[in-house]
Homo-oligomer: A and B are copies of this chain.
Amino acid sequence: MAAHSRSARPVILGQNQYGKAENRVVKITRDGATHHIKDLNVSVSLSGDMEEVHYSGSNANVLPTDTTKNTVYAFAKEHGIESAEQFGIHLARHFVTSQEPIHRARIRIEEYAWARIETSDADSRPIGADEAKHSFVRKGQETRLTQITYDGSSWEVISGLKDLVVMNSTNSEFWGYIKDKYTTLPEAHDRILATQVSARWRFNWGDDDQEMPHWDTAYEQTKKHMLQAFAETYSLSLQQTLYQMGARIIDNRTEIDEVRFSLPNKHHFLVDLQPFGLKNATADGAVYYAADRPYGLIEATILRDGCEARIPVDLTNL
């Protein structure tokens, strides 16, 4: 982004963006008595020719954030929500193509998944047989994420998830590391490996002329490969597991070129029960203390050979 100064003051405006964050949109689609639900949290961020609003307060080039909110709701009705990615693409295209001062739009979406409630047998139903068709319970597992960026010519789609908590109760070791003056950690040859996955993956789709990936399939498959790689990797370090999770995605999903992980090592410490005359780790299992803080934090990018890394390095501020 070009920086513009003004007047005698030696102060310059750099990168800037604005929009309405966290628009909570729930779309119910009725297919006869059967309803479907899409539950999103949509954040809009626009940038472009915005020097004057910063320098003088002139809003002549500013589409109000309230308008961006209205647009989100109106588009949910007009265009529906096929997937988070598709919805974000609609929005980003609109903002960049409809307002000359807006040169770039970034749409971030969180999606919350719901399942249908299983109803009881027919005898106990007071009002008919269609109940479960419009009754839902929130799954509550991971949050699905996407970020769409459009500059008027090319697209960048980075999807992902957060808060997916996984654990291997064995097949994890940690030894052979550097020992310095401050090292007290004993080596471990059988430990719990647990983490709360935060992941982002970048699609190589970037042009309206290319065929779009099937976003929902991509999500389900990527999550599946990530989980399986976590489960199936005999781990000598969380870094090794992370690499296998990313590589499994790159190996299996040709539409994805880059993956970024932020994996807190959710420590589960074997409790020392010797003072009570108990051996903890025995053939039939063990008792662990699940610690909150501090935690190891392992972060890395896994790339398809020949591709450029573009996902921001920081998925957390800690």
Contacts and interface: CB of A to CB of B under 8 A. Distances in A.
27 contacts: A3-B303, A11-B302, A11-B303, A12-B305, A14-B302, A15-B301, A17-B299, A20-B294, A26-B192, A27-B285, A27-B286, A43-B294, A53-B239, A56-B240, A64-B174, A64-B185, A66-B183, A77-B273, A119-B228, A126-B233, A131-B232, A135-B231, A136-B169, A137-B164, A138-B165, A312-B312, A315-B317
Interface string A20-47: 1111111111110001010100010100
Which interface class (under 10, 10 to 19, 20 to 34, 35 or more) fits A? 35 or more
A80 to B, nearest CB: 9
Given A15-B300, A62-B177, A304-B12, A290 B139 contact: no
A212 interface: no
Contacts of A139: 140-141
Given A176-B58, A233-B126, A22 B304 contact: no
Nearest to A19: B297
B140 A65 contact: no
Interface string A146-167: 0000000000000000011111
Given A66-B296, A78-B278, 4 more contacts: A28-B285, A66-B183, A70-B182, A137-B165
Contacts of A235: 57
Contacts of A29: 284-285
A76 interface: yes
Nearest to A288: B26
Contacts of A60: 176-178
A59 B176 contact: yes
A63 B280 CA distance: 24
Given A180-B63, A185-B64, A232 B300 contact: no
How many identical chains are in the complex?
Answer: 4
B25 A287 contact: yes
Contacts of A305: 5, 10-12
A182 B71 contact: yes
A57 B240 contact: yes
A83 interface: no
A10 B169 contact: no
B23 A294 contact: yes
A303 B14 contact: yes
A189 B3 CA distance: 30
Contacts of A315: 317
B37 A167 contact: yes
A227 B135 CA distance: 9
Given A15-B301, A54-B243, A62-B178, A290 B26 contact: yes
